[in-house]
Structure 1
Amino acid sequence: MTHPLSEPEVDIANRDLLPTTSSQRQWTLYNYLTLWIGMAHNVSTYMMAGGFIALGLSWWEAILTVLVGTLIVLVPILLNSHAGTQYGIPFPVYARASFGGVGAGVPALLRALVAAGWFGINAAIGGQAVQMFLSMLIPGWAHLSTAFTFVGLDFGGWVSFLLFWFLNIWIIYHGIDAVRRFEAWAGPLVLLLGIGLLLWAYNAAHGFGPMLHQPAKVHGAALWAVEIPALTSVVGNWATLSLNIPDFTRFAKSQKAQIWGQTLGLPTTMTVFSAIGVLVTSATIVVFHQAIADPVTLLGHFHNVLLLLISLGAVVVATLSVNVAANVVSPAYDFIQLFPKHLNFSRAGLLTGILGIVMVPWLLISNPHIYIFSWLNVYGGFLGPIAGILIADYWVFRKTTLAVVELYAKGGRYYYANGYNWRAIAALAGGVVIALIGKVVPALAWLFNYSWFVGFIVAFIVYLGLMQTAESPDVRLAGSR
């Protein structure tokens, strides 16, 4: 299909936010399959799953946690994917139906800030790999790299981090089609790295037996104190993509292509790669008598220079793969929603990268407790409510019917009062407060452990209640068919 809009008719968008045309819809089942292979097969997924072992779960508890959490988050991913393919619209435009033409900037900003943090985290991981490269290739680099330390990162760390950072920005400056081409081959390459590490673990630990016999270190109440936040962190891991997945499905050739590509791609690849992370981390307990959940740190224990160079190269590709697809494409569209007259895709991607530096990501990944219990669960409390509002609005209140032209026009049915739907803002605020209150009120800590779920349910109910009972003209207009 072709979109009915021309740029002079658009009030609150630019070329990058317009609905996709039939010629732009080139993504097939294979593209969505490799997209998820590229995004799920990455170092942060490995670190999360391996971190569960470091926190005391057994190998099967860790893998089951990943599988269940991934199947849960697949539901909102597919529900929000539908609008992207049906109408060819990106997430910031999709959010206008519920939050308003201007109010959609609120969820877009929250989503973009989280993505900037993720961009920084993956850039820090990629920078660690580059740092090892330089240490092997440049005599004296190890000594030179410690010349000074700034904000917790030494000179060598800054050079390596920025080199990897520029690689990401270079790909983004070549546009969305470059992302599609890069993901098509990068994803499968990452799996080869994981298989290689698994083969090492099998040999080093003298078979799977010693790995699989590593017992859980937490039981009873202590087990659930780890298990519940861990499950929430798996959901939170893809909470960002569950919102902005229309940014990718708007390029789908059909609903069937994106549904099957994602259903086959996410749960299987996420579980398989997480299982590799779990087993290899279990092997490090056998071999090194400590759980090493960071694969870059683990590679530092290898002594074969050629093997190490190949492995570090795969780490760089793996991290580039997830960072470009998951953490630059979507926030770029989000920032364009906020400043459509000043930003295009490339400039917004650069802004994301700059924010990723400001958020000092190397401190976020400093240990599993910070990474899993703070970073993943806190932002889950912000993004769960947004998902609840989007799904309640599109599937229940509007029954999947949108007037696309009015999503781009001031004064239309989705502009509400002065561009804001205060009901969506209120539902978002209520969901966030209740989801995160347990972080500061110990008696309500259980709410924080389920932060994404609590925020989703509260916002879903509050939003529908406010919309269904409203008598104001702006809501009647917005809900009209």
Structure 2
Amino acid sequence: MSKKDRYLKSPDLLPVSHAGKKISSFGFMIMWVGMAVVLAAFAIGGAGVQSLPLGWVIVAGFVGCIAIGLFITVIGDIGIEHGLSFPVYMRAPFGTVGTHIPSVVRGLTASFWFGINTFFGATAINGILFVLFSFDNWFLCFIIFAIAQLLNTALGIKAIERFADLAAPIIIIISIWIYSTLSGRALEQGRDVWVWVETPVTGVAATTAFFIIVFSVMGFWATLAADIPSISRFIKAPKYERNWLKRNKSSLLGSVVAMPLAQTFIIVIGAVSYIAVSDYDPIVALQEAAGGIVLVILLVMIVFAQWSTNIAANLVPAATIFSNVGGPKVPYWAGVFMAGIAGTVVQPWNLFDILIPLLLIVGGILSAIVGILFTDYYILRKRRVNVHDLYNVKGQYRYLNGFNVAGFIAWILGGIAAYFLANYSFIVGFIVGGGSYYLLAKYWWFNKYKQSEIEDPDDEKYLGITVGRDWDIEEAEQKEQTILPNISSTEKNV
């Protein structure tokens, strides 16, 4: 087999077998507790209480979390059913070469978030060391903290789950303590966190403010909604289970139960932080509201939270994507360090105020990909996938020189719509991207490039765990190599 033929078959990107699925229901829920503690969530809470009471901010945040959690679970079935990662399945709607363009956009976005969260965690570490030892060098803290996260992620999904098991209870306990500390600080200033609003709005303005919170939450997690298969392929699921809810139970418990509870509480902390000191950044607020060993303990939570978020939500997806682009020469662990380098060279400490708004815009634009994935997987292919051809450079997903033009046109249309309607970017991008892809693929592109699973919708051929199948690409390849010489020999004899 030529190097070109091996390009799509990096060992780290082959389908995960049923035995290789290591994350339990509880494990995935615990991972979400860590992933939910992000700077953007604090910012959403802080912005929300400038216009609405805390109670309405909580409702809006929870609605947004439930909604995006459902989208995450729906797309996550690609990993549950077939054991496929995000960049590998993207070969279906974008082509074996085309997959690299939207995938790299997502990979760089994840890398930049890694840099931002590492900077956030590094400032907390620096604060701890300053209180304990009068040490003050945030950049050294950044480098050490980044290396620790990269090594943890490079060790694989089980090491990530083990860290989440350690970090989650610490995050929960200290988060409650942070809320108590900051709400106490607010009361000292005569501000009841459940009543105080900086600039109250009513009527249409209040409705708009409510939905901005909802779609801000959805827009932020749009990136993970797209590449959740890179994580969900490791989640345990029952074989031969045709009921979608039962098959995706573990994914639902994590994304629709654990995530909304944890994420909404983090939004609350950002809101209370703003009420207490007019700054949604809890590190700033804590340094004003607490001191000594109490401050150290509270900052420990910030460190663990950024660590948990980065390794699962940013480094795993980015590393998988970079490994897909590089082929067999770029193993998963190398992709991890590439993501770390990319997230550092942008210098998030200098571009902080610009980078977060930019990444939220990019997240909205990527929402079109969620719509395209949904349409391709559920509506057109009806969950059936010709998985072997995803790893074949000459297979059905090669399309036009490796590009699915329908996917790119749909992404551009959905991305433009999401950009110009930024406050509602997720739902706009999803509908426009998914709708235009359906029309273009069904009535144009797939008439030119026939898709086996659409032409012959056979469950036994094209479903995975539902029919008890493990997609073994290497085994199929070996059989093919054995059969071909036998055919040649027979032809010679004839």
- 1:91-106 equivalent positions in 2, closer than 5 A: 91-106=86-101
1:9 CA drift (Å) = 7.4
Which protein is bigger by CA-based radius of gyration?
2
Assess if the C-alpha contact under 8 Å between 2:7 and 2:327 holds in 1. Answer: no
Partner of 2:392: 409
Assess if the C-alpha contact under 8 Å between 2:96 and 2:393 holds in 1. Answer: yes
Assess if the C-alpha contact under 8 Å between 1:63 and 1:271 holds in 2. Answer: no
Please tell me whether residue 213 in structure 1 is matched to residue 200 in structure 2.
no
Could you list the per-position Cα deviations for residues 278-331 of structure 1 after superposition, in whole angstroms to 9, with x for gaps in the alignment? 554555566x5x323111112212454222222222211111001000000011
Partner of 1:433: 416
Please tell me whether residue 119 in structure 1 is matched to residue 91 in structure 2.
no
2:53 alignment partner AA: S
TM-score normalised to structure 2 length: 0.83
CA distance in 1, matches of 2:114, 2:246: 28
- 1:5-24 equivalent positions in 2, closer than 5 A: 10-24=6-20
CA distance in 2, matches of 1:364, 1:277: 24
CA distance in 2, matches of 1:267, 1:376: 24
- 1:171-210 equivalent positions in 2, closer than 5 A: 171-205=152-186, 210=192
Partner of 1:260: 249
- 1:26-425 equivalent positions in 2, closer than 5 A: 26-40=22-36, 42-44=37-39, 46-53=41-48, 55-139=50-134, 141-142=135-136, 156-205=137-186, 210-215=192-197, 217-219=199-201, 220=203, 222-223=205-206, 226-254=209-237, 259-277=248-266, 279-281=268-270, 283-284=272-273, 288=276, 290-363=277-350, 365-366=352-353, 371=356, 374-375=357-358, 377-425=360-408
Assess if the C-alpha contact under 8 Å between 1:112 and 1:352 holds in 2. Answer: yes
Secondary structure, counterpart of 2:34 in structure 1:
helix
TM-score normalised to structure 1 length: 0.85
Assess if the C-alpha contact under 8 Å between 2:65 and 2:218 holds in 1. Answer: yes
Secondary structure, counterpart of 1:449 in structure 2:
helix
Assess if the C-alpha contact under 8 Å between 1:204 and 1:283 holds in 2. Answer: no
- Greater shift, 335-344 or 200-209, is seen at 200-209
Partner of 2:435: 461
Assess if the C-alpha contact under 8 Å between 1:37 and 1:266 holds in 2. Answer: no
Secondary structure, counterpart of 1:212 in structure 2:
coil
Secondary structure, counterpart of 1:476 in structure 2:
coil
Partner of 1:153: none
1:480 alignment partner AA: E
1:336 CA drift (Å) = 1.2
Distance 1:215 1:472, change over 3 A: closer
1:49 CA drift (Å) = 3.8
Distance 1:387 1:309, change over 3 A: same
1:258 CA drift (Å) = 7.2
1:64 CA drift (Å) = 1.6
CA distance in 2, matches of 1:448, 1:171: 35
Partner of 2:478: none
Aligned residues: 445
2:437 alignment partner AA: Y
1:183 alignment partner AA: A
2:223 alignment partner AA: T
2:450 alignment partner AA: R
1:123 CA drift (Å) = 0.6
CA distance in 1, matches of 2:265, 2:326: 42
Distance 1:125 1:265, change over 3 A: same
1:157 CA drift (Å) = 3.1
- Greater shift, 73-82 or 118-127, is seen at 73-82
Assess if the C-alpha contact under 8 Å between 1:194 and 1:273 holds in 2. Answer: no
- Greater shift, 396-405 or 449-458, is seen at 449-458
RMSD over aligned CA atoms reads 2.7
Distance 1:8 1:200, change over 3 A: same
1:18 CA drift (Å) = 0.4
Assess if the C-alpha contact under 8 Å between 1:45 and 1:274 holds in 2. Answer: no
- Greater shift, 212-221 or 332-341, is seen at 212-221
Distance 1:405 1:188, change over 3 A: same
1:137 CA drift (Å) = 3.3
2:333 alignment partner AA: S
Assess if the C-alpha contact under 8 Å between 2:65 and 2:217 holds in 1. Answer: yes
1:46 CA drift (Å) = 4.5
1:257 CA drift (Å) = 7.4
Distance 1:92 1:257, change over 3 A: farther
2:150 alignment partner AA: I
Distance 1:180 1:215, change over 3 A: same
1:78 alignment partner AA: T
1:10 CA drift (Å) = 4.5
Consecutive unaligned residues of structure 2, counting only runs of 5 or more, are 239-244, 457-494
Distance 1:388 1:404, change over 3 A: same
Secondary structure, counterpart of 1:110 in structure 2:
helix
Assess if the C-alpha contact under 8 Å between 2:65 and 2:256 holds in 1. Answer: yes
CA distance in 2, matches of 1:120, 1:244: 19
